Amino acid sequence: MKIAKGLIPFLLLIFAVSMVIGCSHTDKTDVKGVITNELDLLKNLDSDTAQKYISHTELFPDATEKTELSKEVEEVFSLFFQDFDYRILGIHAGKDKKEATASLELTTIDAKALARDYVASHLTNAILTAADTASKNTEESSSSLEERYLILNELLKENKYETVKTKCTLTLVDTGTDQKEWEIQRTHDLENSLVGGLITYLSDSDLLTPEETLTVYLNTLKTMNLDQMSNYLGLESLLSTSDDAKNAIAAALVDRMHKTFDFKITGSDISGYQATVEADITTFDSNAILSDYQKELEEYLSSPDAVIDGAQKRYNHSLELLLKNIENNDGTLTHPSVFYLANDGASWKLRDDGQAIGIGIFGDLSTTPVSDEEES
């Protein structure tokens, strides 16, 4: 995926480190010795070793030479390969003795599970960043290379990933003249195998299905505060206001949403790069709130008190009635919703994400029923 490919240089550079170190510390006349030396460097890799051979500018193109990696980023190197192991199954030398192949059994982290978690976490961060910056487009949100590593570090520390065993073949060539000098031929397939296929998984635009992608969007919404929800859902007229009374109403709506919001994916349909996902959305009963509010408001407006109060007091009282009905109405409403997603070749993305979700949750309360005109 486009946002995930920032991790790939990290993985390739680690492999490059093993090549650099291996070239200077092994007896190149022995095929098995060359293989063992270089793969042991991955097996026993620690942060100090990695940073000794990888410059900051290679990791972070926008960094200066004085930039220091955070401790969390340093840990990624050792955490990723902590369960790495290998077994040489067999070695075969060609007839001309200038080329050899080795069959290996690799034990690596379950890179598919890690990649799926990474993509979901990165999308969550992008959604929250868009909400914080009033950008409704998650594609406008970017993260630094270090921030991506920190996501990976957090996942590796908080989760225990299973290991998987795979077979791979590597090729060595004799580049020596007077004596044997075997070197491992670096290929994309070999690099990908050594990291458990992570390069392939991160490049898969279908790594998360449309249903799983929508689940990330909706679960992230549950964590948003008032300002984030206002920005992201495009409900500025309802949730973004400097009026204290309206602020209280907005806060009450968000609180009610946090207490009642839930969803269940019920179906999906994929057609090429377009997908629709159906879901049952459970949220507060905006219809009941508005119905009770309108009834009480009409009773008030037809009373002598409304005439005596004047326009300003009538306006204030209408806000008080709305707030009371929001706070006192515990009812929920479940209704079917349809969401539209598109695959841009990098990943599935929710179209018109904020507005589509906002209408589905707030319903008729997506705009305030109390007109500012009532104030005058």
Q: Where are the beta strands (DSSP E) in 175-284?
A: 182-184, 262-271, 274-284
Bridge partners for 333 per DSSP: 283
The dihedral built from the CA positions of residue 243, 246, 252 and 253, taken in this order, carries a sign that is negative
What's the pTM? 0.81
CA angle 98–103–107, rounded 5-degree value: 140
Strand, helix or coil for residue 238: helix
Q: Which string of DSSP letters, residue by residue, matches 39-85?
A: HHHHHT--HHHHHHHS-HHHH-TT--TT----HHHHHHHHHHTTT-E
pLDDT tens digit at each of 376 positions of the chain = 555 556 666 666 566 555 554 454 445 568 899 999 888 888 877 555 455 444 444 444 444 445 555 676 778 878 888 899 999 999 998 777 789 999 999 999 999 999 999 999 999 999 999 888 765 566 555 567 778 888 888 999 999 999 999 999 999 998 877 777 888 888 888 888 988 998 889 889 999 999 999 999 999 999 998 888 888 887 665 655 567 887 888 888 889 999 999 999 999 999 999 999 999 999 999 889 999 999 999 999 999 988 898 888 998 899 999 999 999 999 999 989 999 999 999 899 998 767 777 777 777 666 666 665 454 4
Asked if 280 and 264 count as a contact pair (C-beta separation under 8 A), the reply is yes
Q: Could you state, in order of their start, the residue ranges of all structural domains in the chain?
A: 5-202, 210-375
